[in-house]
Structures are given as C-alpha cells and as structure tokens.
Amino acid sequence: MQNLVHYLRRQKKLLALLILTMLWLSLFPAWVHRVTAKPLDDAITLSPSGTINREIEVAIPEHYEINLVFERASLPFQELKTLLGDWAYRDGQPIPSGVRVPVRWSLKKLHDGSIAASGENDTFGAIAWSAAEVDRKVGGFRVKPGRYLFNAQVLHDVPALAHIGTRLSINLPSKASSTWQMTLVWWGSIASYIVVWPAAAVIAMFLILQAGRNFFSARAART
C-alpha cells in the first residue's frame, strides 16, 4: 500500500492530466447535446390544417432554422419531387415548385407575451433530401437565450400532402455558425477525437504499465 501511495504521489501530474481529460470526455458531450438539441420537433397535420403551441428553450444566440420535415417512407422519389418540389434558382431567385403549404409562426417572450420574432411563408420547394426525410424552409430567427412560447399554424388544408407524415422542426444550421458556442462545438469535437481521446488512452496505459512494473519490482525485492 505504501508503495502504491508513493507511486501515485510521483505520478500526480499525469494523474491530474488524466482526470482533466476524463472530465472533458464526460462533460463536453453533455454540454454539446444541450447546446445543439432541437428546441422543437413536433408532428403537425396538413389536412386538416394543424397548429403547434409549445414552450421551447433557446440555448444560444445563434440563428435557428424553422423547417417542415416530410417523411419519405416508401413513396416513390418522382412522386415526392412532384409534390414537394426542389430548390432551383433563376436570376438569383428560387423558383416556386411543389404543393405550397402556408405557415404562420411567432415566438413570444414568456415573461410579458411580447413577440420576439414572427413570420408568414407560403412555403414551397425542398432545401434538403436524405434517405428518410425531405426538408422545406419555413423561416428562421435569432433571439437571446431563454424560454419562449412558439406558435405555428398551417393557414389552410393541404389535402395533396395529407398522406405524408410531417413535422415542424427548429434546429441549428448544419454548416454556418456565428457564436463562440458553435465554434467550440466544432473544434472541441475535433479535438476530442484527435487529441483528448488518444492522450487519455496513452496516459492511462502508461500509468497502468508503470504501476505493474513497480508492483513486480517490489514483489521481487521482497523475495
């Protein structure tokens, strides 16, 4: 036991560094999850026209996007493209395509009910496609962090899209960022994989090997 205590005292700098790396690897992902979590991702009906009223939390003063998210399910691509459209441009302006979905939304401060952001958009086209979903832009906002009341409503029935599962989502942009929080998310994630994880593994392996060597040396000395 004395040998172990002596060994730990001699390796206190490496132990402190190992503790710091483990704290980073446990706390940083939790912080990233909180910062990047979607404030809203709720189902909404298009026919009959649906409404969402939800209290949400805005974690950082970044620009947030509001999108309609359509589920692809097993629908043929060409049918989806006809119904949802694409995002082509002419003379720098998006060309309307697909079945339009008119959406009005607002973001109100909880403490006084004043409007922090709002918009109305006769949405069309699709800005992103994945294997499971198709996104359509509704709007966006940038406000101070805090809790807000978010309201959105489809202004009239859209029966042509009634058979497609639809959600209304508020999320951070996938590429652009303008706050130190998102910069830290990006570079911190890279550092975790390239620097912190390898450093923690090397330090832990070194300490284990040194502890084993000291144990067998002490055992050999006693015999």
Domain boundaries along the sequence of the chain: 2-32+183-222, 39-176
DSSP codes of every residue in 82-132: HHH----EETTEEPP-S--EEEEEEEEETTT--EEEEEEEEE-S-SEE-SS
pLDDT at 70: 97
167-201 pLDDT, tens digit each: 999 999 876 678 888 889 888 989 888 988 888 88
What percent of the residues of the chain are helix, what percent strand, and what percent coil, each to the nearest 5? Answer: 40, 30, 30
Q: What does the radius of gyration of the chain's CA atoms come to, in whole angstroms? A: 26
Alpha-carbon distance 145 to 56, whole Å?
11
Are residues 32 and 188 in contact, defined by beta-carbon separation less than 8 angstroms?
yes
One digit per residue, the tens of pLDDT, for the chain of length 223 reads 555 555 556 667 777 888 888 899 989 999 999 999 999 999 999 999 999 999 999 999 999 999 999 999 888 999 999 999 998 888 888 899 999 999 999 999 998 999 999 999 999 999 999 999 999 999 999 999 999 999 999 999 999 999 999 999 999 987 667 888 888 988 898 988 898 888 888 888 877 777 666 665 656 556 5
**Helix/strand/coil for 142:** coil
pLDDT at 103: 98
* Residue 64 CB-density burial (10 A; 0-12 exposed, 13-18 middle, 19+ buried): buried
pLDDT at 116: 97
**Amino acid (one-letter) located at 116:** A
pLDDT at 178: 80
- The pTM for the full model equals 0.81
**Helix/strand/coil for 154:** strand
Are residues 138 and 27 in contact, defined by beta-carbon separation less than 8 angstroms?
no
Class of domain 39-176: mainly beta
